[in-house]
Amino acid sequence: MNTRQVNIGIIGGGSMCKLHSAAYALAPLYFSPAHFIPVRKLLCDIDLDFARHSADRYQWQEVTSDWRELVLRDDIDVVDICTPNAFHKDIAIAAAEAGKMIYCEKPLALTAADAAEMLAAARRNGVRTAVAFNKRRFPAVVYARKLVDEGFIGRPLAFRGVFQSSFALDPNVPASWRFQKKIAGTGVMGDLGSHIIDVCRYLIGEFDEVIGSSEILFAERPRAEGARGIFAEQNVRSDSVPVDVEDGCWFLARMSNGAKATFEVTRLSSGKHDGLGFELWGTEGSIRWDQQRAMEIAICSEADAADRRGFKTVEMGGPHPYGNVLWEVPGFGIGISDIKSLEIHDFIHAALEGIPYQPDFHDGLQVCRICDAVMESIETRRWTKVSSSAE
């Protein structure tokens, strides 16, 4: 095998590390010929024992507890950032200065200002970047974009985006970092909202202005000592800490092309778990997708005869995006590990070949700007412009 080997250094040994590891294992098997072989070289976690545990579990060759060491090592080609949000910025800037390819989990940063610094560092150093908005790799979402580009729905009129989960309904769920502003930046907006905002941008373009409303369900939650998982209750202490980020956010948007959008982003929706979905309405047709039935998409065309018009459920397979990479048979299930393998492949392949890749840090910045504008609109109670993307 002479396929090029690409050494990965990953920072953060938790559940995203598990998912990324699976993706690195799968990517070269799915793409034929494999464009490169990702090598699980070095795993960093501030807790060295945990780093060792994760490296053993996810088959990484070496460990460290010092991310700066990882970033500076000559044999690392890609820096993969799986830490809580607050640490993305420093790592990404250091990685950019070290000339690495950077693959960063979402949201890109705590604020648009931070994200802008990260983008500037990447540009200054000419490095390739990716932000892990993995929804863009679902075959159905790529298919939707293709339909939009081909004019299937005509001019977009309206978008409804939701990302609903339910875990915050339980008052005993501890105040992990996702409930703390200084580490997470925002609550559901960055965690879930950023995904559906990115999908909306991907499908119909930039946001003009927004206005929203939000909710914190429980003002305090049990303190979590080093809890890593969303639901992790293992190290819950008996005292409480304040929750200072939103559990639910509802907002309207006016898109630059005039389309209207509504969003509902929560961890308060009983019965929903990973409930991202959208409906996109245009002058000539419409598209609906729900991640919980990820391999299906429903499309409707006004061009159909009046007595044969309706929503058609198309199952993704051989004739659809990534059909030749994954499985020919529609309905031959694709999971989140598969989706991440597409993401990882597409980014690194594009970086190696010098071809365009999105979503990159610029996209990550734009999403931060939209989140910031929503947050500001909640505070000021006014329609709030999203900063220009001219930068």
Task: Return the number of other C-beta atoms located less than 10 Å from residue 171's C-beta.
Answer: 11
Give the tokens for residue 24.
């690195």
Quote the least distance from Cβ 49 to a copy of itself, whole Å.
14
The nearer residue to a copy of itself, 239 or 308, going by C-beta atoms, is: 308
Q: How far apart are the first and last CA of the chain?
A: 43
Quote the least distance from Cβ 325 to a copy of itself, whole Å.
11
Q: What are phi and psi of 148, to 5 degrees?
A: -60, -45
The nearer residue to a copy of itself, 304 or 391, going by C-beta atoms, is: 304
The nearer residue to a copy of itself, 35 or 100, going by C-beta atoms, is: 35
Q: How far apart are CA 155 and CA 151, in angstroms?
A: 7
CA dist 334 to 139, 295, 390, Å? 10, 7, 37
The nearer residue to a copy of itself, 68 or 293, going by C-beta atoms, is: 293
Coil, helix or strand at residue 238: strand
CB contact set of 32 (below 8 Å; sequence gap of 6+):
none
Coil, helix or strand at residue 280: strand
Whether residue 174 has a cis bond before it, omega within 30° of 0? no
Helix axes 15-30, 336-353, angle to 10 degrees: 70
Q: What are phi and psi of 250, to 5 degrees?
A: -125, 130
The nearer residue to a copy of itself, 31 or 361, going by C-beta atoms, is: 31
The nearer residue to a copy of itself, 129 or 286, going by C-beta atoms, is: 286
The nearer residue to a copy of itself, 115 or 378, going by C-beta atoms, is: 378
β pairing state of 207-215 and 248-255 = antiparallel
Q: How many CA atoms lie within 13 A of 226 on its CB side?
A: 7
Quote the least distance from Cβ 92 to a copy of itself, whole Å.
26
The nearer residue to a copy of itself, 15 or 235, going by C-beta atoms, is: 15
Quote the least distance from Cβ 129 to a copy of itself, whole Å.
25
Whether the CB-CB separation of 365 and 115 falls below 8 Å is answered with yes
* Residue bearing tokens 């959208």: 278
The nearer residue to a copy of itself, 44 or 261, going by C-beta atoms, is: 261
Quote the least distance from Cβ 169 to a copy of itself, whole Å.
6
Quote the least distance from Cβ 273 to a copy of itself, whole Å.
4
Quote the least distance from Cβ 25 to a copy of itself, whole Å.
4
Q: Is 70 left (phi over 0), alpha (psi -120 to 50) or beta?
A: alpha
The nearer residue to a copy of itself, 277 or 362, going by C-beta atoms, is: 277
Per-position b or e across 201-230, b if 16+ CB within 10 A of its CB? bbbbeebbbbbbebebbbeebbbbeebbee
211 membership: H or E segment, kind and range: strand 207-215
Quote the least distance from Cβ 194 to a copy of itself, whole Å.
17
Give the tokens for residue 322.
């990534």
Quote the least distance from Cβ 361 to a copy of itself, whole Å.
26
Quote the least distance from Cβ 359 to a copy of itself, whole Å.
20
